[in-house]
Amino acid sequence: MTPLRALLDRWTPALPSQCAVCHAWPAQPICEACVARFAQPRPRCRGCALPVPAGVERCGACIKETPPLDLCLAAVPYEYPWSGLVAQYKFGAQPGWAAALALLMRSTPWAEPALEAAELVLPMPLSPQRLRQRGYNQALELARRLAPGKTRADLLLRRRDTPAQSELPREARLRNVRGAFGVAPGQAGEIAGRRLLLVDDVMTSGASLYTAAQALRAAGAAHITALVLARTE
């Protein structure tokens, strides 16, 4: 049995389900055939998770300027069918999708060892305004299913609301999130010297993850891995 098959078998719904991609019935929320077709692992830069040629560990940009992440992992590309499913999960008031999507993340090469090595798993936080609008933090729902015993949502805070990153070019994204994240007052001792894993749903330019990682570095984090569901390419 393949590791991915074993992971899929661990998530069995109480009732038969229709695959959200090919509409096969009965199936998992995302059937095995669609996972095999659309979620094949691909070589990715260890610093930013962009695709790289086989055998290459870091892209030119990460060699030129080292990101504040020790390792960055992405489960799938932000393209069909995942872009639509992520939007449905994130904006369609369907937090129940977190279980199936977290399985995709856990099946990512090196994700399991990263989760085991992490002492704390931190979801990327939402601003209070965004949380009220959406009703839940999609990154927190994923983190709770990836590592329920290690997830802490009270250590990394969003200090201010910002316009949606998807609407901005790269340089504007970096300016947009500057100073937007910080460690909760009095909690730096929980961060210092620890191995952390940051969880988010989508990584675009990396601006948000990098800014959050810089705040954690300033608090003394020893090692930071990012694990995201989808990466734009």
Helix (H), strand (E) at residue 216: helix 207-218
Residue 164 has pLDDT above 90, yes or no: no
Per-residue pLDDT tens digits for 25-62: 877 789 889 999 999 999 999 999 999 999 999 999 99
| Pair (9, 67) in one structural domain | no
| Pair (125, 168) in one structural domain | yes
Angle of the 98-106 helix axis to the 82-91 helix axis, nearest 10: 130
Q: Which residue segment(s) compose the domain that 159 sits in? A: 44-231
Per-residue pLDDT tens digits for 173-185: 556 677 789 999 9
Q: At residue 185, what are phi and psi to the nearest 5 degrees?
A: -55, 130
| Pair (94, 160) in one structural domain | yes
| Pair (12, 49) in one structural domain | no
Interval 127-148 mean pLDDT: 93
| Pair (120, 140) in one structural domain | yes
Domains in the chain, number: 2
| Pair (3, 58) in one structural domain | no
Interval 62-86 mean pLDDT: 96
| Pair (8, 94) in one structural domain | no
Alpha helix segments (H runs only) across 97-206: 98-106, 111-117, 128-134, 138-146, 170-176, 188-191
Residue 162, domain CATH: 3.40.50
| Pair (226, 114) in one structural domain | yes
Q: What is the pLDDT of residue 5?
A: 45
| Pair (101, 148) in one structural domain | yes
| Pair (121, 12) in one structural domain | no
What is the sign, positive or negative, of the torsion defined by CA atoms of 179, 184, 187, 192?
negative
Helix (H), strand (E) at residue 74: strand 71-77
Interval 1-21 mean pLDDT: 55
175: Cβ contacts below 8 Å, ≥ 6 apart: none
33: Cβ contacts below 8 Å, ≥ 6 apart: 22, 24
| Pair (97, 61) in one structural domain | yes
| Pair (119, 216) in one structural domain | yes
